[in-house]
Structure 1
Amino acid sequence: MPIRVKLKPQPVREGSPFSARYDAVELPYIGPDDSFRLVVKKLSQYFTDAVELPSTFEQLRTTSAGDCLRLLVNHLTDTCANPAIVNALLALKWHYALDRDNQGLGEARSNACEIVAWRFLTRHSEREAVTFCLYEIPDRKKTKAQQQQQLANDPEAGERAPLLPRVLATFDGSSPSAPVGSSSKKIQLLSSLSRLTNLSFDDDDDDDEEDDPTAAFEGLNALEIAAVANAKRFLSQHVVQKIISGIWNGDIVFWDTMAVNSSKHPHFYNPTTSDPYSRLRVPKYLKCWEVLFFGVFLCLYYSVLIVRDETRLTGPEIALFFWIAAFFYDELSEWADAGAIFYATDIWNLFDMIMILIGIIFAVLRIIGILQPETRCNDLAFDVLALEALFMIPRICSILSLSPYWGTLIPCLKEMGKDFIKFMVLIIIVYLGFLTTFSLVGRDSFSLSKMTGILTKIFYGSSYVGFEVMDQIDPIFGPPLMVIFITLSSFLLMGSLTGMLSNSFSRVVTHAKEEYLYVYSVYVLEASTSNRLTHFYPPFNLLSLVLFRPWRYIFPRYHKYRAGRIWLLKVTHAPIVAVIKFYEWLKYKGDDDDEFRGFKGPKEPKGRRRRSDIGPGAVTGRPALSSPRRSGAARLLPTSRMRGEDDVDAPSSVEVQVMELQQKIDQLTAVVLAMRESQIVNDENETAADGNNVGSL
């Protein structure tokens, strides 16, 4: 039975949009075996009833408007063991954020879902948080046996786009559950949103409904859904970032074997049981190889430009062509894996596309210059290649963006660039007006091109040029118009631009850490949660393309296809794996037996409260993250939970200490108040006793 609570009226601040009200709200009971759709439906009903007024994120987090969220968190902590609970909360966050019918109320409910999601995680041990965050929503229409049979028939069936394929596919109308090119039924994003909205009012509990709006999230874990929903505050939480850091360092992996029948499942890495070639999917090592790849790219680039042989193709130039081809194919694979939307979230991918475009233009011009010897075509080809350094050198240094300091500056510069482009529209309008006037007034002395150069020099600070030519433009109109233009460009417009960019930087830097952690999280998820078992580092990906890709189209169900890719991967990447294992041996020497390295929490279940203590339907177990060593024996169960509210965005160690100190102060205050009340009661009893004695006398 659902639990009904009554929210008591709380005092509100003067001017607050909230009023004291009584509202009976049913706390949802989430069963351990409830489907994802049913969990979403129950939570949606609660948020619809509990959050009825528009409110900001801070109001929900700190004022009485968030009392309903605290009650829900406490209730879910005590009664809920459904592994899809965090997935459902973040899916609803995405749903309410896209509710354009009532943006104010939708934003409030969206923020409420995000707050409940991270507070729920903070009430559990770190290993339990890993389990909740990495739980993938299963496909209800396919049993495990059916999925294995499909994999046996089509070894490449599981190697599709890894990050958010189903949700992102709905933007272009493709089926979220089918590969590219499938003619199966398409799921539209907006129609899914409207059907998800109707879940709150739908009394039909049939989870086998064919037109299921929650099907777009099947196969995604909570972190991927958070990336879809732009839940940047959730991703910036300490407990979530520790999980992402674990994925980055390879402490948490999704592949542990390299075999034809391998399947993706999250687990803690155990070096004694995992295939060493699975370490090729660790994001940290992928980034290191990327830096090495660009380093070799830069060496070939300098070799070609320094030699500059226009009569023939040199060895370094041929190697450069192969490097550009491998780079291009690798970027296409990343685009297909991540999807266009998430591929564009990384600003460095824009540099990659420009570098590839420059490389293709260079190759075309160079081939034309060789086949039809033309000095100008060859010169133009090398001049175009010289532009590559503008993007290649910053791209090599992009590894600095993974550090908190440099990574925080990138979102600030990105937003300042957007504001600058918007402000330049106003400057261009003013500039064109003065250019037209000066060109017409001084047409006898200056041509349009020369007047354009003069005004451009003035705009960039050479004000003296304007004072020198203002009499030559026109003796009457020239001086006053030029003074006005110089004043506007040098003081008003440039001063306004400087002040706007300063305000923009101050505004963005407040949330720059969240932006940085969001981009960092998306990169880690893109690099680690791919459904591709075999990922070839460039330029080895060209071998896979040449040797195996044609067979995929000739024999689409060829059962040796995946086995051949695995064999080629092991042959070509053996030296890389040897270096990785040697590095890990040096780093984790003597600590290899700890597969839960860095994650706190009990490894074995130690009991919970009785069902009668926590309400009907309570369970006695939690979902466990699979472990290659214990094989399900290590159940991630808490022995204790934090009882304080997590009211900070991303608590640091200092903030945690402050919270603990605040809890102790609250406890001490409660003790003092209790002692004071006890003293008042004793005084009243003594006074009453004295009165009785006087009366008896």
Structure 2
Amino acid sequence: MDPEQQPLLAPTTEGLASVKVFPLIPALRKDVTNTIDSALSWEQLTAADINFSIVRPIVYKYARLKNMAVVYACLVVRSYFLAEAETDLAFSGVMSSRANLCEILAMKLLSRFAQNYIQLVAVLTTIWNPLAGASTEVVGEVKQALNARDEDIDSAQSAIEMAITTQAKSFLSSTVTQQVVNDIYSGRVVFSTVANRSILADNYKARAIEIYDPYNATFIDHYRLRVPKYGACLEFVNFALLLFTFVMCLSNEDGAKITSWEAAFIVFAVAFTLAEYTSSTEHGWIIYIANMWNAFDFSFIVIFLAYLFLRVKGLSHGDLSASDMAFDVLACGACLLFPRLAFFAISNHVVVLSLRAMISQFVFFVTIAAVCFSGLLFTLWTLAERNPIAHAHWTFKSISWLMVQIWFGNTYLSFAQASSFHPLFGPILMTIFAALSNTLLLTILISILSNTVARIDANATQEYLFQYTITTIEGVKSDALFSYQPPFNILAFLILKPASWFLTPRALHSVNVFLIKLTSLPQLIIIGLYERHWAAGGGLRESSKDAAQSLFNSLPRQIKQMPLIEALVGSASNDVFDAIFGVDLEERDYDIFDDSDGEQNVPHLRSLHSRENIRGRDSRSPSRSPVPQIRARAPTNLGRSPTRRDPSSPLKTPRRRVLSSLIPVDHGSSPELLASPTSGRSPLAQLFGSRFSSDPLATSSASAVNIDASIKHIEVLLEAVGQLPVQKLKDEMKELQDRQARIENLLLMLTRGMRNETEHRNTMP
């Protein structure tokens, strides 16, 4: 469904606030718990039998409620079963199956709202409070269980955010969900949410869900800065500026003072840190860290804060070593900034997703290996401490570095330095460590990484759409600071945050809009021009397309058919096809089926009790070609006896009606047969021809010719049947019977001696 053609209005704020969410959660939990009692895989849950017997009744039950929060409630129940699967290991499989069933229910219930596109967007993007509709006693019990206040239990989220939190990748990759996500990313769907966890909230004018039309909107619309597509482009520019100032800062470093490039880098880095902190506060840490690149950004922020601390310490105390250490720490940030900028274009590619998963698996595995070999490290350090010769050479740091080298393949050191720890135990311990690290553990690590890559490749589409959804939802932010581009977000924070303490919401909104348009005026002008002229459907783009099409049509035919031109422009046949299907024609203008003979040209299946006379109809319409008619026609009066007939139709026996309706017509009849329908006929033709000619209505010679041609066709078929190798088949069957008889006689002769011997033994005393 095209969202631009959706005429329905968005749900009102009062209607969304009156939706009861809490009663759905215990009801869904009860139904899912009573339904699934065994561990089932995703393929089993989506099978036809399970879908018909289990899933559909639950879907119909909750679809009748027409509650827009039912999808969110399914995902909340899914989070509960996932938590139970991690804590109750004995029933982990059952809990995981119940969690998967909740995701399937969410997918099927979401499709129930797809008829109204605006309502579908509201179902996915509305911030739902899980305690909405709960009684005061329930709310009091929740507060008592959490030992929290009213503001502490405000955990409202949208259905998409809940799906990201619960890793519902199948739900997020479904067609219905991705249609909404794509429209949100491109800015065709516009909505704003109430900022509940923002650093600087501006909730004065909340916009309802609408389909954006650039020609009806204002030219300078500050809300367009929150569109994820434009936000990604602006983020790339801001990150490129940050990287540029980073390189210039390290190229012009001065330990004694802060240079202009270093000051510019600090300003951009502080603005970048403020933007990332605001993003993590807006959507929560779980959704923030789910984006793989946010982990890179967070790591760079840690490096920057360490650099800033050491730099301030070095300048305040005049310690040049601390300043040198600060620049050394900052230089390590290049390992994150350069690939971060390079991977902006392919941030969600399957290779990058595999790399991220492999890095996480590798870090986890190395951590476990370090814990396992910590005992060996302590043993070697103790042996070295007890050896007076090795005491000065082997420190705790040097032993750790030696083990790292051996772990990554330098096994020569393990055999060369083993005896220096202890003449007996040193070689034994180092040989065991080298065997475990290089033979066993590295093989296991390679297997784990290979399985990780294979798993991601198998679910590459889901992984990509999952990361794409996270990026889109992160781009739709309600915090006022997100509308400012770094480093102007620092200025907005310093001005608007104190002003929010004494200004009214309307005054704060006016000041906020003025500052946004003032600091982002070039970006807003470029966005306005792009959407009106260069985007899909823009005036300049459409006019340029028409001009290019006219120029291409004016070229000679030889130039149009050149392979290079066709590869660049495309095949002209596709344009013809599009033009054909774009023409609006009425069916009556090109009706290839005439109503007068429509039934004559369509094969039918005739009923046994049909009272229609084929020959009579053909005699009345001799100009039509005699086509056999086979038509399925129900009796007009089921209660009427089949023996009764219409007085206007001749009496026919059932056999004659079957023959007259099923005898094919041979259009290739010879002229002689047409000239003399009764001459040269076979006895079979004469027999049936005389029966048909006895009909009082069979007066047309054309009908007799058709019947003779049909009978001739039957004779040809009978002759073909007579030529079948029936006698040969009988001879082969007789030969097989003779062979079977000979085999039986042979078996009797072979077993006769055995039967005589057995009888002889039985008769012996």
TM bucket normalised to smaller: 0.5 to 0.7
Q: Which residue is equivalent to 1:151?
A: none
Separation in structure 1 between the aligned mates of residue 144 and residue 247 of structure 2, nearest angstrom? 42
**1:605-624 pair list within 5 angstroms:** none
Deviation, 1:224, is 2.5
Instruction: Choose the corresponding residue for 1:136, options 126, 132, 141.
Output: 126
Separation in structure 2 between the aligned mates of residue 72 and residue 395 of structure 1, nearest angstrom? 48
Name the one with the larger helix percent.
2
Residues 445 and 473 of structure 1 are in contact (CA less than 8 Å); yes or no, is this contact kept in structure 2? Answer: yes
Q: Match of 2:394, as an amino acid?
A: L
Q: Which residue is equivalent to 1:335?
A: 280
Q: Structure 1's 259 and 312: CA in aligned 2 closer, same or farther, altered over 3 A?
A: closer
Query: Structure 2 regions of 5+ residues with no counterpart?
Result: 1-17, 134-138, 194-200, 541-653, 656-765
Deviation, 1:439, is 2.7
Instruction: Choose the corresponding residue for 1:489, options 412, 437, 441.
Output: 437
Q: Which residue is equivalent to 2:105?
A: 116
Q: Structure 1's 79 and 462: CA in aligned 2 closer, same or farther, altered over 3 A?
A: closer
Instruction: Choose the corresponding residue for 1:499, options 447, 458, 471.
Output: 447
Q: Match of 2:150, as an amino acid?
A: S
Deviation, 1:478, is 5.1
Q: Match of 2:214, as an amino acid?
A: P
Q: Structure 1's 497 and 292: CA in aligned 2 closer, same or farther, altered over 3 A?
A: same
Query: Structure 1 regions of 5+ residues with no counterpart?
Result: 1-32, 144-165, 176-182, 188-214, 594-688, 691-697
Question: Rg: which structure is higher?
Answer: 2
Separation in structure 1 between the aligned mates of residue 26 and residue 522 of structure 2, nearest angstrom? 51
Residues 361 and 384 of structure 1 are in contact (CA less than 8 Å); yes or no, is this contact kept in structure 2? Answer: yes
**1:18-417 pair list within 5 angstroms:** 35-40=20-25, 43-44=28-29, 46-62=31-47, 64-72=49-57, 75=60, 79=64, 81-99=66-84, 103-122=92-111, 124-125=114-115, 127=117, 130-131=120-121, 133-134=123-124, 136=126, 184=150, 186-187=152-153, 217=156, 220-255=157-192, 261-275=204-218, 276-417=221-362
Deviations 1:434-475 (A, max 9, x none): 624763686535632355555444333233334444556666
Residues 534 and 566 of structure 1 are in contact (CA less than 8 Å); yes or no, is this contact kept in structure 2? Answer: no
Deviation, 1:566, is 1.0
Q: Which residue is equivalent to 1:425?
A: 370
Total equivalences in the alignment:
504
Q: Which residue is equivalent to 1:517?
A: 465
Residues 72 and 128 of structure 2 are in contact (CA less than 8 Å); yes or no, is this contact kept in structure 1? Answer: no
Deviation, 1:252, is 1.5
Separation in structure 1 between the aligned mates of residue 186 and residue 102 of structure 2, nearest angstrom? 29
Q: Structure 1's 66 and 511: CA in aligned 2 closer, same or farther, altered over 3 A?
A: same
Deviations 1:619-671 (A, max 9, x none): xxxxxxxxxxxxxxxxxxxxxxxxxxxxxxxxxxxxxxxxxxxxxxxxxxxxx
Structure 1 residue 575 corresponds to structure 2 residue 512: no
Separation in structure 1 between the aligned mates of residue 171 and residue 51 of structure 2, nearest angstrom? 17
Percentage of matched positions with identical amino acids: 26
Q: Structure 1's 81 and 370: CA in aligned 2 closer, same or farther, altered over 3 A?
A: closer
**1:438-587 pair list within 5 angstroms:** 439=384, 443-445=388-390, 447-449=393-395, 453-470=401-418, 479-507=427-455, 509-511=457-459, 513-530=461-478, 532=480, 535-553=483-501, 555=502, 557=504, 559-587=506-534
Separation in structure 1 between the aligned mates of residue 481 and residue 425 of structure 2, nearest angstrom? 74
Separation in structure 2 between the aligned mates of residue 388 and residue 236 of structure 1, nearest angstrom? 34
Stretch deviating more after TM superposition (34-43 or 274-283): 34-43
Separation in structure 1 between the aligned mates of residue 246 and residue 127 of structure 2, nearest angstrom? 46
Residues 358 and 452 of structure 2 are in contact (CA less than 8 Å); yes or no, is this contact kept in structure 1? Answer: no
Deviation, 1:342, is 2.2
SS of match in other structure, 1:270: coil
Deviations 1:339-383 (A, max 9, x none): 223222223333333323333333344344445444323322322
Q: Match of 1:355, as an amino acid?
A: F
Residues 411 and 515 of structure 1 are in contact (CA less than 8 Å); yes or no, is this contact kept in structure 2? Answer: no
Q: Structure 1's 96 and 434: CA in aligned 2 closer, same or farther, altered over 3 A?
A: closer
Deviations 1:41-91 (A, max 9, x none): 654554344334443332211263343344237736985644333233333
Q: Match of 2:96, as an amino acid?
A: E
Stretch deviating more after TM superposition (333-342 or 67-76): 67-76
Deviation, 1:263, is 0.9
Q: Match of 2:124, as an amino acid?
A: L
TM-score, normalised by the number of residues in structure 1: 0.62
SS of match in other structure, 1:55: coil
SS of match in other structure, 2:217: coil
Separation in structure 1 between the aligned mates of residue 130 and residue 386 of structure 2, nearest angstrom? 76
Q: Structure 1's 579 and 488: CA in aligned 2 closer, same or farther, altered over 3 A?
A: same
Separation in structure 2 between the aligned mates of residue 92 and residue 108 of structure 1, nearest angstrom? 12
TM-score, normalised by the number of residues in structure 2: 0.57
Deviation, 1:241, is 1.9
Deviation, 1:225, is 2.8
Q: Match of 2:120, as an amino acid?
A: V
Deviations 1:136-188 (A, max 9, x none): 26779999xxxxxxxxxxxxxxxxxxxxxx9xx9999697xxxxxxx53754x
Deviations 1:308-332 (A, max 9, x none): 2334322222212211221222222
Residues 43 and 89 of structure 1 are in contact (CA less than 8 Å); yes or no, is this contact kept in structure 2? Answer: yes
**1:686-697 pair list within 5 angstroms:** none
Structure 1 residue 590 corresponds to structure 2 residue 579: no
Q: Match of 2:209, as an amino acid?
A: P
Higher relative contact order (CA 8 A, sep 6+): 1
Q: Structure 1's 370 and 476: CA in aligned 2 closer, same or farther, altered over 3 A?
A: closer
Q: Which residue is equivalent to 1:655?
A: none
SS of match in other structure, 1:547: helix
Q: Structure 1's 407 and 265: CA in aligned 2 closer, same or farther, altered over 3 A?
A: farther
Q: Which residue is equivalent to 1:677?
A: none
Q: Which residue is equivalent to 1:609?
A: none
Residues 536 and 544 of structure 1 are in contact (CA less than 8 Å); yes or no, is this contact kept in structure 2? Answer: yes
Deviations 1:193-245 (A, max 9, x none): xxxxxxxxxxxxxxxxxxxxxx854xx43222323333222112132122212
